[in-house]
């Protein structure tokens, strides 16, 4: 009987960690991702998220809004992103990307939703959507911008992983996780 429970536990653990938690930038923007946390309260998840935001954002008071009715934190900001474009002779271009990050909390965990806004280069607005800027026909990434899309995804996923690990560090002995 112990062996059966151990096998079920291991299978559940492997399935939990085997789910894809990577944010992807597609023609319609960034896909929202749910993070399921068990044995940690919504209040503690919210508190740890606020701590992480204070550690990782300057002037947080100016860009953060807390919506207590929907139990969400909304961050509005812009980030400079360096894009290496191989087809332009290996040139590095700087783009400013506006974004809104909505972190919604519930009893099961939290949901990350990045909404990308305007893309600007040297103060000139290039586009209001990732589809217009990075994607061509049939929703394939344009050759010039493959590195840009990968770079943006890497930046989002690095932030995502940092927040996730920060929340887990609250007391990682007392809860398990899964990602959907």
43-93 pLDDT, tens per residue? 999 999 999 999 988 888 888 998 878 899 999 988 776 665 555 566 666
Number of domains in the chain: 1
Name every residue whose Cβ is closer than 8 Å to that of residue 43 and which is 6 or more positions away in sequence.
none
Name every residue whose Cβ is closer than 8 Å to that of residue 84 and which is 6 or more positions away in sequence.
90, 91, 92, 93, 147, 151
Strands (E), 86-165: 91-106, 109-121, 124-127
pTM above 0.85, yes or no: no
* CATH code at position 116: 3.30.530.80
Whether the CB-CB separation of 175 and 39 falls below 8 Å is answered with: yes
Write out the residue range of the structural domain in which residue 74 sits: 2-179
pLDDT digits (tens, 9 = 90+) for 10-35: 444 444 444 457 888 777 788 888 98
Say which residue the tokens 């944010």 belong to.
23
CA angle 56, 62, 64 (to 5 degrees): 65
Say which residue the tokens 């139990």 belong to.
71
């Amino acid at each position: 009987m112990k062996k059966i429970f151990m096998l079920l536990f291991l299978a559940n653990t492997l399935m939990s960690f085997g789910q894809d938690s990577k944010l992807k930038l597609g023609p319609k923007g960034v896909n929202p991702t749910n993070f399921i946390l068990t044995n940690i309260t919504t209040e503690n998840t919210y508190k740890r998220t606020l701590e992480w935001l204070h550690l990782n954002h300057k002037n947080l008071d100016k860009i953060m809004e807390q919506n207590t009715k929907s139990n969400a934190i909304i961050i509005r900001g812009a980030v400079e992103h360096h894009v290496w474009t191989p087809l332009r002779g290996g040139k590095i271009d700087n783009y400013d990307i506006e974004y809104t990050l909505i972190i919604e909390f519930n009893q099961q965990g939290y949901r990350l939703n990045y909404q990308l806004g305007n893309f600007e280069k040297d103060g000139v607005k290039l586009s209001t959507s990732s589809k217009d800027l990075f994607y061509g026909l049939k929703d394939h990434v344009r050759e010039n911008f493959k590195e840009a899309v990968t770079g943006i995804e890497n930046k989002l996923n690095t932030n995502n992983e940092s927040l996730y690990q920060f929340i887990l560090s609250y007391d990682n002995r007392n809860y398990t996780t899964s990602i959907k």
